[in-house]
Chain A
């Protein structure tokens, strides 16, 4: 079985890394964080030119027709550079939801704009008081004329600060959870930066005009499938971030001199760095499993593998980020130094779509990973 990246995937990764190496050093990123948008519309254009914003869309909608494996490659590179642009919100979630659930007309109306960098999307599913549940929601959708009206509140909408269109989950009178397209102009938004610097919003919908994305009855299956992909590529992003944290720490140990010698000579520190490497290998292996699992036709098996991968990613990232700060000492505590920013991003990844305990419970209740054959 081929476990390595294909040549094309490697080339894609090289192209993205080379752009980010030039444009995304720690200082440039800090400046972006201080800007009004908090990210770069100019870089967004460059991502569009590289074909990243339509990576997985069909060519007829302006996409590159690639697979989710390529998406993972891009996300790992983005994790290494700690990219601030709303790629997860617009491309991974928004774009893929439209591609999966939308009618041909909706795809034609939205995807070319996403691919060219003109349209920003966000997925609004989480509500106050119900953790990450997709179904324990109070937002309602009522038929209104040719379309729908949505009423309710959504929180932690990643990319919700800048998106022109929101993809909102809501319960219909038939008691199904559907997915609806709402214009950003028709909702009230409380916009903010999350702890990792990414833009987000809480959103109140008061009879907001909406159109159903595809058929509401099919929406939940599509959402769950897209979340599998999104979770798998988040694993890749986190691995990129963990890899950087490890090597930043290793470099620091070699250069920081105390008691007349580099602190890398101290075995107490060497062994902790080695344990970080072990955690990274475990995470890398599970990110690979998640990527392979996306090709699995058995939905239950795929979901279990992706959930298991995310558990390992979260456990490893928590270990690596805490140790990275500890081994840096005081400098690791500063906003100026990059390692804390990686720690923050991975901490938020661990609280995106689900948390570790919820995933452990889900995988365990499902019989676990190792079963008699």
Chain B
């Protein structure tokens, strides 16, 4: 892929590689590289080190800690981070609420929230989805009614990722029940410790807890925590979603996964030879590598266009990246399951085994849970069916 990069871009990638592999603790990177769980502490540690070096929020305005980088440089930053198994900055902070506050928030809100958001002194979660507002997000029902200097919030959010670790939540709430559905929505920042906020974890099929239900019962929110204009929240949400055109392809994550699969398949015996040399396994792997390389080129093409026309409106080509990217992420998780074979079938919380038993091979704990967990990729952020409809309408004009 280097062939598609200029000399300067390659040097930049090299600089990022050096940074990530020397500044972020090896203990974290090694553990995550072997499929270990990411802890809250891992993310905080990693993001604070990056922030110290001005690398946590490069896509923010320069005055708030951003870097004056090209779209390709931002891509390489992310790519090198993922390949080095560094936990990325928390997306809710760096990619979502941060840019919204920086673009639409008052000066007060910026000063109050942006530095802490960049440094992960505040852990944000995203309050968008509701039980009856998934793909049809604009049908959300959580209300915020103005009462003096406050809003009174009532309703329920769901699929709220890592709400159990969050300090604050940015919510889409209905402020005008009379308006057409997209028009009556506002973007509100809520402290999770406010009375009336309750978090209930949802256990997923992999056995883990990463999403939650969040309930709001007469939650009093100071009106100065409204971002931008009342009833303009839908525009901000669209900005937030359109801000991330190429990250949705998850090329870096899938590449890192493929590398791990190759490493483990080379160590796995299959009928007297390494599994990596099995022609059928290798053919499936190679086809995945080809599709992934194609997707990476598609990402570079989109970045190339973005560099020329500047950022702005959502690009419907992002739907192609999301659709194909989630498919490839899922395929990779499937290949890891195949590498583990019978060693990956047990449900285990830890790699400890009693004395006299063989140590578990790498991947035994995470292969199947990861496979089941990543079924989510074609559902969240606009399901594959939604993406196909966007492509049909916005690109093919069907």
Contact = CB atoms under 8 A, between A and B. Distances in A.
Interface string B380-398: 0000010111011101111
A295 B3 contact: yes
A289 B291 CA distance: 12
Contact of A369 (B289, B323, B385, B388): B289
Contacts of B320: 277-278, 281
A270 B4 contact: no
Contacts of B3: 289, 292-293, 295-296, 301, 305
B259 A370 contact: yes
Contacts of A273: 392, 396, 398
B241 interface: no
Contact of A308 (B6, B290, B323): B290
A269 B392 CA distance: 9
B318 to A, nearest CB: 12
Contacts, number: 140
A340 to B, nearest CB: 21
B282 A364 contact: yes
Interface string A260-293: 0000100101110111011001111110110011
Nearest to A1: B6
A34 interface: no
Interface size on A, as a range, is 35 or more
A267 B389 contact: yes
B157 to A, nearest CB: 29
Interface in B1-29: 1, 3-6, 9, 17
Interface in B227-268: 255, 258-259, 262-263
B370 interface: no
A370 B297 CA distance: 13
Q: How large is the interface on B (under 10, 10 to 19, 20 to 34, 35 or more residues)?
A: 35 or more
B258 to A, nearest CB: 5
Contacts of A370: 255, 258-259, 262, 289, 292-293
Contacts of A348: none
A371 B263 CA distance: 10
B391 A315 contact: no
A274 B9 contact: no
B395 A277 contact: yes
Interface of A: 1, 3-4, 250, 253-254, 264, 267, 269-271, 273-275, 277-278, 281-286, 288-289, 292-293, 295-296, 301, 305, 308, 311-312, 315, 357, 360-361, 363-365, 368-373
| Shortest beta-carbon contacts, A-B, top 10 | A285-B297, A270-B392, A274-B391, A364-B286, A274-B388, A364-B282, A282-B294, A271-B388, A369-B289, A1-B6
Interface of B: 1, 3-6, 9, 17, 72, 255, 258-259, 262-263, 279, 282-283, 285-287, 289-298, 300-301, 304, 317, 320, 323-324, 385, 387-389, 391-393, 395-398
